[in-house]
Structure 1
Amino acid sequence: MASNVPIEKIRNIGISAHIDSGKTTLSERILFYTGKIHEIHEVRGKDGVGAVMDSMDLEREKGITIQSAATYAMWGDYNINLIDTPGHVDFTIEVERALRVLDGAILVLCSVSGVQSQSITVDRQMKRYKVPRIAFINKMDRSGANYDRVAAQLKEKLGHHAVKLQYPIGAEDRFQGLIDLLSMKAFYFDGENGENIREEAIPADMLDEAKLRRDEMIEGIANVDDELGEAFLMDPASITEAQLRAAVRRATIALKMTPVMCGSAYKNKGVQLLLNAVCSYLPNPKEATNEALDQKNNEAKVILESDPAKPFVGLAFKLEDGRYGQLTYMRIYQGKVSKGDFIINQVNQKKVKVPRIVRMHASEMHDVNDATAGDIVALFGIECASGDTFTDGTVNYTMTSMFVPDAVISLAVTPKNRDTLANFSKALNRFHKEDPTFRVRRDEESAQTIISGMGELHLEIYIERMKREYNCEVVAGKPQVAYRETISQKGEFAYTHKKQTGGSGQFARVCGYVEPLPSDAVQQYEFVDDIVGGSIPREFIPACDKGFQEAVKKGSLIGFPVVGLRVVINDGAFHAVDSSEMAFKTAAIMGFREGYAAAKPVILEPIMKVEVTAPEDFQGSVVGQLNQRRGTILETGTAEGYVTAVAEVPLNTMFGYSTDLRSATQGKGEFTMEFAKYMPVPRNEAEALMAQYKEKQAAEQAARK
């Protein structure tokens, strides 16, 4: 069992990359070589079994990864905890939560396409959590494979200090093996599944090139590692392989360099050397810095130590609803936990007992009695939400939270049959709990259930899962884009709220102005109190702020939230008897509407960054389609017979794009999109949206009568 491995020999790693770079194929090979599985199945293989890590039926059918799957394997005497993450931007939270708890990662790049839009997103996430990584250039057997070009792109597009540790022997259909520049040996992978590694001298015709590349590599490492730098200046010829390996490890863990390796997972070449590199260069849990916030000491930062004797601290980073109830994936940062222990949820201070601890291998479970610092395990029967911290009660720490992006698209959904209503709400509750980017709300006006997410595919998958897992067919309305409203200039207001009924009345006067915030402002709403001389008493100021906050929830143009503005109040009046908090809140709401109307409000729409790849023959129709959809082309480039176009396109025009792109490119075109920014809507479109909103309101008023 893997739990008796010393902490120095544990590696927690993730595999992440752009869609279709071969992440799941690579994890399948890793499991095969480490003896976890005894035969290899392809992601879209003819045998229909599908890869082990894609354990959901939907993943096997679509040939994509939806949920990150966790597993563990032994490579020599190292225990590797591995998480295979999705590539689609719609499942970005799966990558986010995996990187949050990992110590190191493998960034997989395709040797033909190189650094693509999703690679940039994943790289940004790795930088956010300071995760050291090894770059693996996959698919070296494909036509158009170019190792050097992709390694150069790591520098240009991602700003990495990339150092090549290997040199491929041949490329495309002549790709035979690898030269390891550290040991100056050639490696070939024989046998049906590349399991027999043959080590030979470097072919004579490649020796000079290999020597040149080795010098280049040493210089690259010496630039970022002082110790090797000194040895390099003294006598470059005397540098040993052991010195080099130690320097690569130091520089990788310090995030100063990215080692670059290559191979072909599909053709079973180079995976074992990558596993060796994971053990040699990526950090063990002790070498990664993990911080918690001490709630007893004003959220002061505390460095957690991977020491089993210290108080227990663990983070629940992912939930899954299994056959036997909720399964909680937990990364243990400090201390240890055993079956039967009591642990405390730091969010609500609830004490819970640990009934069962398992190690996950995709969808299979292996029971264990205890887990110590550095482990990633799953617990049964613990109620919590994604991102909760648990301790043993002696300390009051919480881990820093994850970054959760805003939803960009919404759908109205209702169950087809009234009988499945209970299952419908059960499914929504579960998905919302598992996935923080999947949001559910009830729209009171239209009495509909609205689900929001990161893209069409994201919501499509959840609707499909409701049908399969909960036997609940769903009817979905037209997708709704998350518009916003804002102001384009300063607008003043002076509103007096008076109401006289029997007894005491209501009186409040609020004066001031609204103005746009600078474009780089972090907050979307700011309240400034410029009242002097007590024209509005102190105790009524918070009521004004509350009123404004309520008013910005719904703009008057199309009823969407108002963003990017500052509200300033500088004058007002009150009445000793008739003024109240309620009166000032109402005056603020009405005053805001007055100022908003004067500030030339505009409607904003989400703009997506879209990257399209298709064969060169279809360049005209690809660019034409993007232009038709009001897209702004940022760059186009061609490489290896494929054209890549990057554009900014309004989300509203992107519905149904995948079908159009397929039919225009004979099914060969692919695209990815992610949210970029908000921009004003063109005038004719804004007028149409406003007319639609007025009609809707009129219809609702008529229905009320």
Structure 2
Amino acid sequence: MASLLFSRSLVSRSSTSASANVGSVTNFMAVGGGSKLPTNYLFSNGIRSGMVNSIRPYSTNDIQKMRNIGISAHIDSGKTTLTERILYYTGRIKEMHDVRGKDGVGAKMDSMDLEREKGITIQSAATYAKWGDQHINIIDTPGHVDFTIEVERALRVLDGAVLVMCGVSGVQSQTITVDRQMRRYNVPRVTFINKLDRVGADPWKVIDQLRSKLSLNAAAVQIPIGGEINLEGVCDLLTEKAYIFGEKGSKVQETEVPSSLVELLREKKIELIERVANVDDKLGEWIIENDFPANMPDEQTLGDAIRRCTVNRTFVPVFMGSAFKNIGVQKLLDGVVRFLPNPSEKKSIALDLTNNEAEVELSADPKKPFVGLAFKLEEGRFGQLTYMRVYQGTLKRGDMIKNVNLNKVIKVPRLVRMHANEMEEVQEVGAGEICAMFGVDCYSGNTFTQQQLNYTMTSMHVPEPVMSLSIAPKGKDGQTNFTKALNKFQKEDPTFRVQTDQESGQIVISGMGELHLDIYVERMRREYNVETVVGKPLVAYRETIQSRGDYNYTHKKQSGGQGQYAKMIGYIEPTGPEGPDLEFVNDVIGTAITPNFIEAIKKGFNEAVHNGPLIGHPISGVRFVVNDGATHSVDSSELAFRICAVNAFKEGFKVADPMILEPIMKVEILTPIEFQGTVIGGINRRKGAIFNTGAQGENITIECEVPLNNMFGYSTELRSSTQGKGEFTMEYSKHSPVTREQFDQLIEEYQKKRAEEKK
């Protein structure tokens, strides 16, 4: 879903939060400072601006010791808590804090006040750490579906990921979305089953769900020692050693596997080997040549096989623990380094614009010409931050680089690397890193290269908004800041759209859900000091047709001098569930309509589908075919055929059994079993269709599909009906036809609104 970018405080809160490792740690995100930065600007390591030594480009050996990872999961699975523990154990922070900030501090990666107040991650945050001699660059991503674009763009530029699962809830709705995103960008992943200290936690059930619901070839590489409140540590299947985590998890004691777990360890190790051998020829040959399972492969042989399969995305190793109880985090870090790829192992493709967009494989070589992708924009105190992944070459301060998409050459300003809302200045960044700059005018998704190259990277998937609100500043004094805020938010977030209703003149903002839009309204108040008046939420309806509709339309206009004349004959028809959303087909034979007018007809079609005739919403699922017509030697023009196409489409649309589609949301509700009847009754009242239920200890999960128009205010209803114990998530599923009653009601409301506007 698109991008929520929130401005961060750029000045370090305290130099004590800097790690002792900061000088030797690779930067995850380098962000460049513009000329507006004061000369006494303090960075996270306490070094003054301009005094940081140059960071040398990474050699091939250094790149092999680098990992760029994202931490993703369903909401409230423990992503941010896990990242907090990683930062603590790698020495990047000196104290661990809770996500909700009850102690007045909050988790390091949730640096925005809104994030700490709501207890959720709203925007992805970047940091970097050092584990042994390995450099790990990390992005902590949101779990809420409204902010899914943050996950989308993070996975677009990362080389690997950690999929965090709740040991009680298992695979949830947003887990499926994250899995789909990882597959879209071919991101290898390891899985961490979190919260095994909670009542009802069952790692083996979660692994079964990974296999059945996500179709992943997953197997445990660890087994837990104890369970629920008695969780003490984990046993590693490769080393066949047990690891007990002491106070704050810092003292990891290696010991022998408890006798009560020896049999289970052997059983799970055989299962692990068999699953890896099924997708790895080398390990398969070893099994054939040796007496398996009497003989087991050694740690190196099995580990290498797991790494090959993980990098090739044919296997997913599963780690276990509890981030909140400080169990299993260090072993997960070992697994990230051991099994996930370095930047040189992830294939990156660019398109050569000078060679008909031929594919070019980029090399993580710091000596080759620079190629980078600006994947995220963020408004900071000193201007726009442009976050960039360096795929090839080296980016240095003062370099002249080209924005291929805008065809502009810019000079690279200051570069820094990020640690949540703190930054450290660097002079250059090498291949495989992610960096950003201050004061660069560009858009999310722009490609930057050295001037001699003309490459562009493939774009990321941006979902369409499903909800809109009318919005206006309360007073005229806030108009300037109101406009400035909307422009900035649009530039930052591809899923946040702003348009003006042509009939009412109202400003309408569109986004991925209620929370998405509420956050932007709140940001407008806090960051731009603008109080707003917000209208009723508007649903993103679509108009379509259910049958073929023929048209035969002639456009004539004569008012002295050259007139207008165009005639078109053809039909419109549904494209079908597997067809394109919109399609224009030119079936004209001969010169009944001369070819130079075809493009004008296509423009008219695109104009007609923008606002449908039923309720003024966009049209989808339609094929527009023109197969005959006529022209006039004098009066025919591009304007005449564009107007003719608009009216011909409307004529065909009227007789093609038009229908209104409404967005249907996939809703997942988690509630104590005692409230099951009340919750199901509420879903039925909202015309929801329940398709799955499942018990999770003392709770029950209800999966259903509900029209978005019926979901407004549901969070309040669920809290009141479950004594505040119920929670739900929802994401867009599909558009479906409305009922006949609703169809008539929507048309009546639209016509009434238009009549009032004409008065």
Tell me the TM-score normalized by structure 2. 0.91
2:256 corresponds to 1:201 = yes
Question: Could you tell me how far 1:45 is from its partner in structure 2?
Answer: 4.3
Find the counterpart in structure 1 of residue 385 from structure 2: 327
Worse overlay, 122-131 or 199-208: 199-208
Q: Deviations over 1:196-221 (max 9, x none)?
A: 11011111222222222222222222
2:598 aligned partner, one-letter code: I
For residues 538 and 355 of structure 1, what CA distance do their matches in structure 2 show?
Answer: 49
2:684 aligned partner, one-letter code: N
2:336 corresponds to 1:281 = no
2:459 corresponds to 1:404 = no
Counterpart mapping for 1:163-178 below 5 A: 163-178=219-234
2:534 to 476, 479, 482: 476
1:341 aligned partner, one-letter code: D
Question: Could you tell me how far 1:620 is from its partner in structure 2?
Answer: 1.0
Find the counterpart in structure 2 of residue 388 from structure 1: 446
2:512 to 454, 457, 461: 454
For residues 515 and 369 of structure 1, what CA distance do their matches in structure 2 show?
Answer: 59
Question: Could you tell me how far 1:499 is from its partner in structure 2?
Answer: 2.6
Counterpart mapping for 1:128-167 below 5 A: 128-167=184-223
2:416 corresponds to 1:358 = yes
For residues 730 and 579 of structure 2, what CA distance do their matches in structure 1 show?
Answer: 25
SS across alignment from 1:106: strand
2:711 corresponds to 1:654 = yes
Runs of 5+ in structure 1 lacking a partner?
A: none
For residues 478 and 561 of structure 2, what CA distance do their matches in structure 1 show?
Answer: 53
Worse overlay, 566-575 or 379-388: 566-575
2:368 to 310, 316, 323: 310
Counterpart mapping for 1:45-194 below 5 A: 45-191=101-247, 193-194=248-249
Counterpart mapping for 1:172-251 below 5 A: 172-191=228-247, 193-235=248-290, 236=292, 237=295, 239-251=297-309
Question: Could you tell me how far 1:238 is from its partner in structure 2?
Answer: 5.4
Question: Could you tell me how far 1:533 is from its partner in structure 2?
Answer: 4.4
1:441 aligned partner, one-letter code: Q
Q: Deviations over 1:26-77 (max 9, x none)?
A: 0000000000001110112431210000000000100100010000011111
1:61 aligned partner, one-letter code: E
Question: Could you tell me how far 1:647 is from its partner in structure 2?
Answer: 1.1
Find the counterpart in structure 2 of residue 642 from structure 1: 699
Question: Could you tell me how far 1:384 is from its partner in structure 2?
Answer: 1.1
For residues 698 and 31 of structure 1, what CA distance do their matches in structure 2 show?
Answer: 60
Question: Could you tell me how far 1:565 is from its partner in structure 2?
Answer: 1.2
From the superposition, tell whether residues 545 and 351 of structure 1 become closer, same or farther in structure 2 (CA, over 3 Å). Answer: closer
1:199 aligned partner, one-letter code: E
Query: Is this contact kept in 1: 2:390–2:434, CA < 8 A?
Result: yes
Question: Could you tell me how far 1:543 is from its partner in structure 2?
Answer: 2.4
Worse overlay, 424-433 or 543-552: 543-552
Question: Could you tell me how far 1:541 is from its partner in structure 2?
Answer: 2.7
Question: Could you tell me how far 1:607 is from its partner in structure 2?
Answer: 0.9
Find the counterpart in structure 1 of residue 97 from structure 2: 41
1:518 to 576, 579, 583: 576
Counterpart mapping for 1:369-388 below 5 A: 369-388=427-446
Counterpart mapping for 1:479-490 below 5 A: 479-490=537-548
2:730 to 648, 655, 673: 673
For residues 274 and 532 of structure 1, what CA distance do their matches in structure 2 show?
Answer: 65
Q: Deviations over 1:612-641 (max 9, x none)?
A: 111111111111111111111111222212
Query: Is this contact kept in 1: 2:400–2:450, CA < 8 A?
Result: yes
Question: Could you tell me how far 1:406 is from its partner in structure 2?
Answer: 0.2
2:309 aligned partner, one-letter code: A
For residues 606 and 442 of structure 2, what CA distance do their matches in structure 1 show?
Answer: 31
Backbone CA RMSD of aligned residues: 1.3
Find the counterpart in structure 1 of residue 652 from structure 2: 595
2:653 aligned partner, one-letter code: Y
2:672 to 602, 610, 615: 615
Query: Is this contact kept in 1: 2:155–2:187, CA < 8 A?
Result: yes
For residues 532 and 214 of structure 1, what CA distance do their matches in structure 2 show?
Answer: 68
Find the counterpart in structure 1 of residue 682 from structure 2: 625
Find the counterpart in structure 1 of residue 7 from structure 2: none
Q: Deviations over 1:64-119 (max 9, x none)?
A: 00010000011111110000000000001000000011000000000000010000
Counterpart mapping for 1:496-535 below 5 A: 496-522=554-580, 524-535=581-592
1:439 to 497, 500, 518: 497
From the superposition, tell whether residues 221 and 533 of structure 1 become closer, same or farther in structure 2 (CA, over 3 Å). Answer: closer
Find the counterpart in structure 1 of residue 87 from structure 2: 31
SS across alignment from 1:150: helix
2:135 aligned partner, one-letter code: N
SS across alignment from 1:158: coil
Find the counterpart in structure 1 of residue 45 from structure 2: none
Q: Deviations over 1:507-550 (max 9, x none)?
A: 3222222111121112x222222223433333333322222222
Find the counterpart in structure 2 of residue 688 from structure 1: 745
Question: Could you tell me how far 1:498 is from its partner in structure 2?
Answer: 2.4
Query: Is this contact kept in 2: 1:339–1:369, CA < 8 A?
Result: yes
1:538 to 590, 595, 609: 595
From the superposition, tell whether residues 347 and 215 of structure 1 become closer, same or farther in structure 2 (CA, over 3 Å). Answer: same
1:338 to 384, 396, 413: 396
Aligned pairs, number: 700
Q: Deviations over 1:279-328 (max 9, x none)?
A: 11100000111111111111111111000110011111111111111111
Query: Is this contact kept in 2: 1:327–1:379, CA < 8 A?
Result: yes
Question: Could you tell me how far 1:351 is from its partner in structure 2?
Answer: 1.4
Worse overlay, 137-146 or 549-558: 549-558
2:482 aligned partner, one-letter code: F
1:554 aligned partner, one-letter code: N
For residues 209 and 48 of structure 1, what CA distance do their matches in structure 2 show?
Answer: 44
2:412 aligned partner, one-letter code: V
SS across alignment from 1:248: helix
Question: Could you tell me how far 1:488 is from its partner in structure 2?
Answer: 1.2
Find the counterpart in structure 2 of residue 554 from structure 1: 611
2:75 corresponds to 1:19 = yes
Q: Deviations over 1:317-369 (max 9, x none)?
A: 11111111111111111110111111111112211111211110000111111
2:384 aligned partner, one-letter code: Q
SS across alignment from 2:747: helix
From the superposition, tell whether residues 45 and 595 of structure 1 become closer, same or farther in structure 2 (CA, over 3 Å). Answer: closer
SS across alignment from 1:29: helix
For residues 25 and 328 of structure 1, what CA distance do their matches in structure 2 show?
Answer: 27
Find the counterpart in structure 1 of residue 17 from structure 2: none
Aligned-pair identity in percent equals: 59
SS across alignment from 1:286: helix
Tell me the TM-score normalized by structure 1. 0.97
Question: Could you tell me how far 1:606 is from its partner in structure 2?
Answer: 0.8
Query: Is this contact kept in 2: 1:354–1:381, CA < 8 A?
Result: no
From the superposition, tell whether residues 504 and 327 of structure 1 become closer, same or farther in structure 2 (CA, over 3 Å). Answer: closer
For residues 355 and 570 of structure 1, what CA distance do their matches in structure 2 show?
Answer: 56
Query: Is this contact kept in 1: 2:101–2:116, CA < 8 A?
Result: no
Question: Could you tell me how far 1:403 is from its partner in structure 2?
Answer: 0.3
1:214 aligned partner, one-letter code: K
